Chain A
């Protein structure tokens, strides 16, 4: 079988793409130059909009740039759509596009529904008013769906992440498998790495690891940060001094050194990561418990019911997660302990939560200090509300804007942190397809074979970029009203 070319039958699109891209770049440059040399004046139109005109020239340049941009987008869409239709005859791009078909469908459905009902969806709906936010959300959802479809439904990925095929070592993208069996995917779409594994499949499956750990770890970091930051900002005084000092202490500790320490076998042996997990994972319980109790304490029956339900579920989850027969914490008998986190992942999780929570703590503390001076907080105090009700129900909901934005940014930060940990081979097992480890593997022969290292690196880049754009869009939209 012939090796696949990059674009196959889609190659008729290459020349227009090259042309349009060049034109777009030129126009953007021209626009900057025009903007620098001429003053722009705004004039209102009869329909109540405002348009800018600067001797016609800059207006023309702006319009041309916009058209070039649309053409560019149209060409990219054409690649994707035609590729999905043509499959392997559309070259590597076509084949990849076809593999991602479930993701495309899911994205289209998501966008269609969201835009249709955007006025009823609050802040999430408003996101679809901002181009930047929509692009960011698209990229993030692309990787989320990729993670779901590859991890749960076993779709997208073409090969097993660990299976090695003889003769495929360091082969370039589009190389056909020698003697592929019936039902087996016949190509390594993005080539093979130095252990003859499929780079494409490893990149796709790597997304699963990131998309599980990064948001969850960030969520836990927020639980810890919020639970400690609110009282620190609200009470001030000694509580604040002590907690802020601790936060500064953690922030001042060299992060990489901390990670190395945590994965040292002796430290793992002593059970420190497990104790830390037991400590950090208890915060969601405290958070939810206090949340429910402060709200319903005036109605004891309801309160008890809600508390039992929420704490029961969370408590069981907590116990099964922290209890592990092979480590020092064995709270549950083996028969009940159905679920264990892989020790490597636990270490990664704990360290990521540990280094992120002080920053969240400081943000929450600052917001709480600002919001506690408002009259509605005073009104709650004068009707005898408890401090935790005020913190969780009066202050926290009104701090949500900056917190949501920071949550998105922090997932991005955590993603990079996970990449770093994988790169250094800390925590996650070295042959797991996580992006950091894959980049590290590919790095060794980078000057000869760049193809194994680039896909995971670009994947990491695009996800973090998407998260940052999403955060920008959210910030822009949440500031608008």
Chain B
């Protein structure tokens, strides 16, 4: 089964594509009037918030829309041939052979009951009918290409024996097995940690060049698109709103939505006072409630009644650049260089006295080797090692680290769901490290509360919003009777800027951002002094993130709350925190004010983390640091420094000290703490990771 013949011209050409889903009640248009062309060897990004139809486009290209989905207009041409006119057999030939797709969740793309080698070999054996020996050779070659250690052993293992990053590399290898001419990547790194993500993104980019594959890269992250793609297409509510080269769209955007999107994401390069976050007002329209005329109209700053709200709005070419188009009637009239309307600068409440103090906190878990009868040898998981820090009133302390670094364990110990193995936690003057939550006083409990990560999981789906807040009030002993509590609940809804009518709604009637607001209201029900926010915005869409972040900061200003902000997103950390604590494998590797942490000298891990964060700004030059391998398991940490297995500075430390000795905590100027063996001279010579390019 050979490939399609040589074809000059775009690999993929989508022209005025419209896709609808059909339900019992109505037709739901998911994609409307969408056009894009992918030239050979080109990488095109598709950006938009969840529900904007970007994945539907990918499924449309694969001709895999399910029972209810249907292409209702336009054409998808692959190498000049209309995919809709192909027979099932022809399509089967093309899928996996000519067009390959990589999905978000690597484990879901791999067959858990089949060895990796076999899954890889299957692809060319089916599509090209080559012998198994030849297929094995090809598999070995591709696995080496995706930079996996020990390729032979990899081929002989099952998917569950690999880490998430390795699995995603295998999925990429699987897609490359038949040397496709088009690769569709649907949020390929969302499930991965930042440093692993950076490595995978680099891999994808290099392989694209090596194999000459065209790519359609779907992501909600503008930074990632900047790093991987040549051109991009911004989608909003089923339509492409702006299309052009990276430089055109990033620097000379000509659509209000693109502009609003850029203004709502924090950039680690920018100062929070000079460039405040501007949230996009309103909500994303549901597919069957789209407004007439421009879909973005109701949320647009430049909306003009009578013009933007009627009729069909076509894509129009932007003067001055050839392949740059925008779906806006007014883009020639808008002053695109106007500075952002000065946000009301709010005076931050002064940082007060110490409210929380951790002193050499340790948390170890014992894992029995033999689960059924206990006994046997026990292994110790060191989830937190000698955690020491202070948090003050109205201060935001960010806790940064990737999965497995011990930040969740730390939150559990603080909340009292677990007790500490060693060390002390002072809440005010009270020692709480050994007091489990059932023995804590109501006051202690209500003063330390938590905001959770997943908005779809944070509220009980079978209780009304009001009832859940009232329950928190009841348990915290707020209010003398039901009437008072109801009043207080309504006030809390006001506090998080939700309409009071929401009290009677069920959680499923709320959007993600609204649910997260209810979660915040619930956490502040008992006038919490310390709020642990566990990645409170990472699961939200960018345009909503800014609003929720601002809300948290505003409440903090009013209530003088101490915010412990757990996150892996350094951009947002830089935007809102006063001090930053970087954790790795249960250790605090760096602790200092935001400016100290984001400027050299860095801890080598912080340096890598900063370099890994994708930044949506073309004027930024980043130092390129890619970490090898994965985070070691906490069950079996490396000897010496926890970071030594991936550290690029290791050879600068004489005597192999990193591999044998745990580095001491060093205090540099201005109480900046580092846990590293590097000499002062080496640290002082470090260059900043993020620099604004010289004009």
Interface residue ranges of A365-410 to B (CB < 8 Å): 374-376, 378-386, 393-394, 397-398, 400
Among B461, B462, B526, find the residue whose CB has the most chain A CB atoms closer than 10 A.
Answer: B462
Complex Cα distance, B475 from A384, in Å, reads: 8
Complex Cα distance, B442 from A298, in Å, reads: 11
Chain B, residues 449-481, CB within 8 Å of chain A (1/0): the string is: 110111001111111000000001011110000
Interface residue ranges of B403-418 to A (CB < 8 Å): 415-417
Partner of A48, one of B22, B417, B459, B460: B22
Of B65-73, B350-358, B573-581, B652-660, the one contacting chain A is B65-73
B449 adjacent to A382 (CB under 8 Å):
yes
B445 adjacent to A398 (CB under 8 Å):
no
CB neighbours (8 Å) of B519 from chain A are 379
CB neighbours (8 Å) of B522 from chain A are 379, 383
A398 adjacent to B475 (CB under 8 Å):
no
Q: A48-B22, A375-B452, A400-B462 are in contact. Are A385 and B475 (CB under 8 A)?
A: yes
CB neighbours (8 Å) of B416 from chain A are 382
CB neighbours (8 Å) of B417 from chain A are 378, 381-382
Whether, in the assembled complex, A481 has its beta carbon less than 8 Å from a beta carbon of chain B, the answer is yes
From residue B667, how far is it (CB to closest CB) to chain A in Å? 33
| A43 nearest CB neighbor, chain B only | B70
A375 adjacent to B453 (CB under 8 Å):
yes
Partner of A397, one of B67, B448, B458, B460: B460
A384 adjacent to B460 (CB under 8 Å):
no
CB neighbours (8 Å) of A384 from chain B are 437-438, 440, 442, 445, 475
From residue B514, how far is it (CB to closest CB) to chain A in Å? 15
Whether, in the assembled complex, A326 has its beta carbon less than 8 Å from a beta carbon of chain B, the answer is no
Whether, in the assembled complex, B153 has its beta carbon less than 8 Å from a beta carbon of chain A, the answer is no
Chain A, residues 35-51, CB within 8 Å of chain B (1/0): the string is: 00000001010001110
From residue A47, how far is it (CB to closest CB) to chain B in Å? 8
B454 adjacent to A383 (CB under 8 Å):
no
Partner of B22, one of A49, A375, A379: A49
Complex Cα distance, B453 from A376, in Å, reads: 11
Partner of A50, one of B22, B438, B461, B474: B22
Partner of A383, one of B27, B475, B508: B475
From residue B364, how far is it (CB to closest CB) to chain A in Å? 19
Whether, in the assembled complex, A166 has its beta carbon less than 8 Å from a beta carbon of chain B, the answer is no
CB neighbours (8 Å) of A381 from chain B are 415, 417, 437
**What is the size category of the interface that chain B forms with chain A?**
35 or more
Q: A44-B22, A50-B68 are in contact. Are A383 and B458 (CB under 8 A)?
A: no
Complex Cα distance, B415 from A378, in Å, reads: 10
Q: How many residues of A contact B (CB 8 A)?
A: 25
CB neighbours (8 Å) of A398 from chain B are 460-462
Complex Cα distance, B415 from A29, in Å, reads: 65
| A49 nearest CB neighbor, chain B only | B22
A383 adjacent to B445 (CB under 8 Å):
yes
Interface residue ranges of A12-53 to B (CB < 8 Å): 42, 44, 48-50
From residue A184, how far is it (CB to closest CB) to chain B in Å? 54
Q: A375-B452, A378-B452, A398-B460 are in contact. Are A44 and B474 (CB under 8 A)?
A: no
Whether, in the assembled complex, B433 has its beta carbon less than 8 Å from a beta carbon of chain A, the answer is no
A-B contact pairs, 17 of them (CB 8 A): A42-B70, A44-B20, A49-B24, A50-B22, A298-B474, A298-B477, A299-B474, A376-B458, A379-B452, A382-B415, A382-B416, A382-B417, A382-B448, A383-B446, A384-B445, A385-B475, A481-B508
Residue positions of A touching B, CB distance < 8 A: 42, 44, 48-50, 298-299, 374-376, 378-386, 393-394, 397-398, 400, 481
In the complex, besides A379-B458, A381-B437, 19 extra interface pairs with C-beta distance below 8 angstroms are: A42-B70, A44-B27, A44-B72, A48-B22, A48-B27, A299-B474, A375-B452, A375-B453, A375-B454, A376-B458, A382-B416, A382-B417, A382-B448, A383-B472, A383-B522, A384-B445, A385-B475, A393-B463, A397-B460
Residue positions of B touching A, CB distance < 8 A: 20, 22, 24-27, 67-68, 70, 72, 415-417, 437-438, 440, 442, 445-446, 448-450, 452-454, 457-463, 472, 474-477, 508, 519, 522, 526
* Closest 8 pairs between A and B when the two form their complex, measured CB to CB: A48-B27, A375-B457, A397-B462, A384-B445, A375-B452, A50-B22, A376-B460, A375-B458
